[in-house]
Amino acid sequence: MELNNLLRENIKNLKPYSSARDEYSGDAMVFLDANENPFNEPYNRYPDPLQRLVKEKIAVLKKVNAENIFLGNGSDEPIDLLIRAFCEPGKDNVVTIDPTYGMYQVAADISGVELRKVSLTEDFQLNINDILGETDKNTKLIFLCSPNNPTGNSLNKDAMLELANQFHGLVIIDEAYIDFAPGKTLMPELEHYPNLVILQTFSKAWGMAGIRLGMAFGSTELIGILNKIKYPYNLNILTQEKAMLLLDKKVTVQKWVKLLIAERDKMEKLLAEFPFVVKVHPSEANFLLVKMHDARGIYNYLVEEGIIVRDRSKVHLCNESLRITIGNSEENESLLSALKKLI
Ligand code: PMP
């Protein structure tokens, strides 16, 4: 696969914005280059456009080189950038699974790029032949999500790698929930599959949805392309500072993840006992997809009780199902108490 052949012509020819800080190297003392205000340190200064310090820490954590990391304003940013870099509006297309995370569709729609959905099997797994059958010479990207949102299961690893083997474009694996699925990441495969891109986020296991910090991992060349087209200062100083602090709290995060997995397993059992629950799908994420009689009615009842879950009953393969995030034990208890009143 030649990445350059996949790239849109205008991106190939793009001369990226060059910021003041990009144009010097060395130890300067006086910065009169960027029209900043000398007062209100340190927030008067533009942030590091390549977030070098944050990437150094993430590189150690994820066992990759810093040049294989892209950082974005949530992982929604690389989703959008990948489509904009590779897909010519009105001509190229992307393929994804159904059901899955809604932003692939929204990002494609915003860019005027066709998105083709391929149904998962009844047990929420990939059908590789169906996926490859939807691709053509204008298919640039395949978006997969594992563990998948809203189904909660991890996709079969061999099937994902087989797709990466057979497809001529990029295969993007969205691993937003991977910290809840020990041993399932495809990160070690990155070096063997140059067309693989992995997305992760600090919004879930790391508890930092509010600071907006997402990651894309891929070949040096691919990361270079994303860096070339991103907003120059896409991550602000506050986010970078907070990330530096939280990246030192790996042990705390591991405790949260352990607790949430234990709560998830408990909720899986307890929810299955309700007479109106048809099925609790096994999950490797921090949520459960629960099929029940009259899901919409129960959703509305829970809203009245002040408890908000996600109604997925109109989503393909998810009829009569609610997606329930795993909260702390008190929050989960509130949900169970409210549901008990229905019996
Ligand atoms: N991917 C998936 C599968 C998600 O469910 C979400 C958020 N719900 C995201 C990406 C977006 O994450 P971020 O907050 O990093 O933009």
Percent of the chain with pLDDT over 70: 100
The finding on whether 174 has its CB within 6 A of some atom of ligand 1 is yes
Mean pLDDT of 135-143: 98
Return the SS3 of 289.
Answer: strand
Alpha helices in the chain (DSSP H): 3-6, 9-12, 52-62, 76-86, 103-111, 128-134, 157-166, 220-229, 237-246, 250-272, 295-304, 329-340
Mean pLDDT of 117-145: 98
Q: What is the pLDDT of residue 103?
A: 98
* Domain end marker among 221, 248, 275: 248
Is residue 1's pLDDT more than 80?
no
* Domain end marker among 198, 218, 248: 248
Q: 175 CA to middle of ligand 1, Å? A: 9
Given the CA of residue 209, which atom of ligand 1 is nearest to it? 14
Mean pLDDT of 274-286: 98
Q: What is the pLDDT of residue 301?
A: 98
Is residue 100's pLDDT more than 90?
yes
Q: 53 CA to middle of ligand 1, Å? A: 24
Q: Are residues 211 and 316 in the same domain?
A: no
**Domains in the chain, number:** 2
Q: What is the pLDDT of residue 283?
A: 98
The finding on whether 176 has its CB within 6 A of some atom of ligand 1 is yes
pTM: 0.97
* Domain end marker among 192, 213, 248: 248
Chain-wide mean pLDDT for the chain?
97
Q: Are residues 274 and 159 in the same domain?
A: no
The finding on whether 148 has its CB within 6 A of some atom of ligand 1 is no
Q: 44 CA to middle of ligand 1, Å? A: 30
Mean pLDDT of 130-154: 98
Long-range contacts of 217-220 (CB under 8 A, 24+ apart): 217/62, 217/64, 217/68, 217/69, 217/70, 217/187, 217/190, 218/68, 218/70, 218/190, 219/3, 219/68, 219/190, 219/194, 220/65, 220/67, 220/68
Q: Are residues 71 and 155 in the same domain?
A: yes
The finding on whether 78 has its CB within 6 A of some atom of ligand 1 is no
Q: Are residues 121 and 160 in the same domain?
A: yes
Question: For residue range 324-335, what is the model confidence (pLDDT) as tens digits?
Answer: 999 999 999 999
Mean pLDDT of 285-310: 98
Q: What is the pLDDT of residue 18?
A: 87
The finding on whether 151 has its CB within 6 A of some atom of ligand 1 is no
Q: 214 CA to middle of ligand 1, Å? A: 8
Of 29 and 101, more confident: 101
Q: 18 CA to middle of ligand 1, Å? A: 30
- Name the residue of 75, 97, 151 whose CB sits within 8 Å of the most ligand 1 atoms, as the mutation to test its pocket: 75
Range of the domain at 80: 3-248
Q: Are residues 231 and 256 in the same domain?
A: no
Q: Are residues 203 and 163 in the same domain?
A: yes
Given the CA of residue 101, which atom of ligand 1 is nearest to it? 3
Mean pLDDT of 193-199: 98
Q: What is the pLDDT of residue 25?
A: 76
Given the CA of residue 214, which atom of ligand 1 is nearest to it? 15
Q: Are residues 24 and 171 in the same domain?
A: yes
Q: Are residues 224 and 154 in the same domain?
A: yes
Q: Are residues 230 and 141 in the same domain?
A: yes
Q: Are residues 236 and 263 in the same domain?
A: no
Question: For residue range 165-179, what is the model confidence (pLDDT) as tens digits?
Answer: 999 999 999 999 999
Is residue 248's pLDDT more than 90?
yes
CATH for 306:
3.90.1150.10
Question: For residue range 4-27, what is the model confidence (pLDDT) as tens digits?
Answer: 999 999 999 999 998 877 777 788
Return the SS3 of 181.
Answer: coil
CATH for 180:
3.40.640.10
Q: Are residues 231 and 170 in the same domain?
A: yes
Q: Are residues 243 and 261 in the same domain?
A: no
